[in-house]
Amino acid sequence: MEKDTLVYIDTNIFAEAALEQSSRGEAARTIIGALTIGRIKAATSAITWNEFVGLIYRELGVHEAARAAKAFPSHQNINIIPVDRSVLTEAASSIENYKLLPQDAIHHATMKLRGITYLISEDKDFDITNIKRHTATEFAKILGI
């Protein structure tokens, strides 16, 4: 993978960075740290905000959710891609072709339409698609951190 390759960050990486005290959580925090300092070029779907903030709301309550809701779009080194008609149309194909859940289909469609072929995610459901998935731990090793 080239140094300037755009990678897609799935919701679970943000969630594990915020909530997990395990080695997976530490690896996710490493990825988010690399993103923050501009070491990686990344994108995600606007639906990630919804999934992440909803999870924080359920796990930690309204005050932490409000904080997460404000902080998420402040990441300057991540391109937050809107969900539009073309994404939803492509997501329908992802559901049909790969049997993905609707939210995963939106992530897949977003990557496909933007030509993003690398994904950082703990979600094995993407392994049947044409996207190359790396866990946070694997990607941290690729970065050498």
pLDDT digits (tens, 9 = 90+) for 66-88: 999 999 998 889 999 999 999 99
Would you list the DSSP string of the chain? --TT-EEEE-HHHHHHHHH--SHHHHHHHHHHHHHHTTSSEEEEEHHHHHHHHHHHHHHH-HHHHHHHHHHGGG-TTEEEEPP-HHHHHHHHHHHHHH---HHHHHHHHHHHHHT--EEE-S-GGGGGSSSEEE-HHHHHHHHT-
Q: Compute and round to an integer the Cα radius of gyration of the chain.
A: 14
Structure pTM? 0.92
Q: Provide the number of structural domains found in the chain.
A: 1
Identify whether 34 is part of a domain.
yes
**CATH at 134:** 3.40.50.1010
CA gap 142, 110 in Å, rounded = 24
Identify whether 12 is part of a domain.
yes
Predicted local distance difference test score (pLDDT) of residue 1: 60
Identify whether 28 is part of a domain.
yes
Phi, psi of 92 (to 5 degrees): -60, -40
Say if strands 118-120 and 78-81 run parallel, antiparallel, or are unpaired: unpaired
Range of the domain at 29: 6-81+117-143
Identify whether 90 is part of a domain.
no
Q: What confidence category does residue 126 fall into, taking pLDDT thresholds of 50, 70 and 90?
A: very high
Average pLDDT, the chain: 94
Identify whether 131 is part of a domain.
yes
pLDDT in tens, 7-51: 999 999 999 999 988 898 999 999 999 999 989 999 999 999 999
Identify whether 93 is part of a domain.
no
Q: Is the pLDDT of residue 110 over 70?
A: yes
Neighbouring CB atoms inside 10 A of 41's CB total 14
Give residues with Cβ within 8 angstroms of 39, minimum separation 6.
143
Q: Is the pLDDT of residue 2 over 80?
A: no
Identify whether 86 is part of a domain.
no
